[in-house]
A and B are shown apart, each in its own frame.
Chain A
Amino acid sequence: GENVEQHPSTLSVQEGDSAVIKCTYSDSASNYFPWYKQELGKRPQLIIDIRSNVGEKKDQRIAVTLNKTAKHFSLHITETQPEDSAVYFCAAKGGTYKYIFGTGTRLKVLA
């Protein structure tokens, strides 16, 4: 069935360093790849997304890259700050409106 694998499950970085989270999807019909940030006790919120006809998208300190051939997509956060500490989820959506999520990455930014 459809599956999204996400790595690593936890990631600790020093403030100011970069963080990279990687996801792999199985459904070749997937065409939309959002990333959600979830702070402790809060709801997931969309931070950036990319569609299958684009290879890279950037929004200030965050960027997402997509390799359709390898079915990989990644989240890059540069110049990390303490407020970036949260759980990040990747997801993939195929031809239907159903979203399959990865298992999440807990990012800790150490001051």
Chain B
Amino acid sequence: DAEITQSPRHKITETGRQVTLACHQTWNHNNMFWYRQDLGHGLRLIHYSYGVQDTNKGEVSDGYSVSRSNTEDLPLTLESAASSQTSVYFCASSEQGLAATGELFFGEGSRLTVL
């Protein structure tokens, strides 16, 4: 069965360190997204990609970067982790095209704690 997986599921790091969260999907979806979830803020869009070599900033992109070298993967990098980036991160993917259902498929989430 097709799936979207994130790793690591839990990570604790220190302020200033570089962190990369991996996202891998086997749906063959062109659209991929990274959201962060914080109490009172819901799901906020960090970065998104509509295909290989395409990346776009979302509403809370400062301090984060992504790269899209193939269809399956969209890693999220925190260049210098800050305590404000402690959060649960969700990767998601969706189809493109007229026949697309519009459904967004989420990974299981990655809980990041920055000390």
Q: How many A-B residue pairs have CB under 8 A?
A: 51
- Tell me which of A51, A93, A102 contacts B42 (CB under 8 A): A102
- Chain B interface residue number, banded: 20 to 34
User: What are the interface flags for A87-109 relative to B under an 8 Å C-beta threshold, 1 for contact and 0 otherwise?
Assistant: 00101010001111111100000
> Are B43 and A34 closer than 8 Å at their CB atoms?
no
* Complex: A1 Cα to B40 Cα, angstroms: 19
For residues 37 through 93 of chain A, which have their beta carbon under 8 Å from a beta carbon of chain B? 42-46, 49, 51, 89, 91, 93
* Complex: A36 Cα to B105 Cα, angstroms: 10
* Complex: A42 Cα to B90 Cα, angstroms: 11
> Are A99 and B108 closer than 8 Å at their CB atoms?
no
* Complex: A32 Cα to B94 Cα, angstroms: 13
Residues of B within 8 A of A24 (CB): none
- Closest B residue, CB atoms, query A105: B42
A59 to chain B minimum Cβ distance, whole angstroms, is 14
> Are A43 and B104 closer than 8 Å at their CB atoms?
no
> Are A98 and B45 closer than 8 Å at their CB atoms?
yes
For residues 4 through 30 of chain A, which have their beta carbon under 8 Å from a beta carbon of chain B? 6, 9
List residues of chain B with CB under 8 Å of any chain A CB.
Answer: 31, 33, 35, 40-45, 48, 50, 58-59, 90, 94, 96, 102-104, 106-109
Apart from the given pairs A97-B31, A102-B42, 6 other A-B contacts in the complex at a CB distance below 8 Å: A45-B106, A91-B104, A97-B50, A98-B58, A99-B94, A104-B42
